[in-house]
Amino acid sequence: MSKFAAGALVALVVLAIVGVAGVRHASAHLEHGVAAPQFTLQAAKGGDVATVDLKAALAKGPVVLYFFPKSFTSGCTVEAHLFSEHVADYAKLGAQVIGVSGDDIETQKKFSTQECRSAFLVASDPGLKVAKQYDASLAPGYANRTSYVIAPDGTIAYSYTSLDPSKHVDNTLDALKTLAAAKK
């Protein structure tokens, strides 16, 4: 089965589950000002595995935390490419990007090099425990496409949920610019 066919099948299964069971509205997410749930996960960058800890990451500046349904599916690949193309823009704003899905760490190691272009951490969230804390689970086994900007104080500065991968980067960059302007 091709990657495109696999991605289409995943999308159909997710839509069928959501439509039949009413699992979650596409716009669910944590609200502005809420404390971001702390987590520690295994993550890969450039194929190397490390532990990512939100508290430690926030000590360096804001974090863009984005949840995605499944590595190597068409929408998730598009989104990973978009985030990787803009890593320098995030760095200029003092932010780092962390992607999260329910895929195992071996899959994330490959995804981190092939689709994330070794530009940012991509974490493995087995059982979607962290995704559930962030109200970012879509259906059993799949995270919802939800992006957060988490301020250095650990609060949610911005959240956006849409299965369309095209606006997550623009929206989070705009939110970071607003956050930076508010600090001045």
Give the catalytic positions in this structure: 76
Q: Are 159 and 146 a contacting pair, CB within 8 Å?
A: yes
Dist CA 56 CA 53 (whole Å):
5
| H or E, element range at 39 | none
Q: Are 148 and 161 a contacting pair, CB within 8 Å?
A: no
Question: CA 55, 61, 66 angle in degrees (round to 5)?
Answer: 75
The structure tokens 């669910």 sit at: 28
The dihedrals phi and psi of 25, each to the nearest 5 degrees, come to: -75, 150
Q: Which residues contact 54 (CB under 8 A, 6 or more apart)?
A: 36, 38, 39, 40, 63, 65, 150, 154
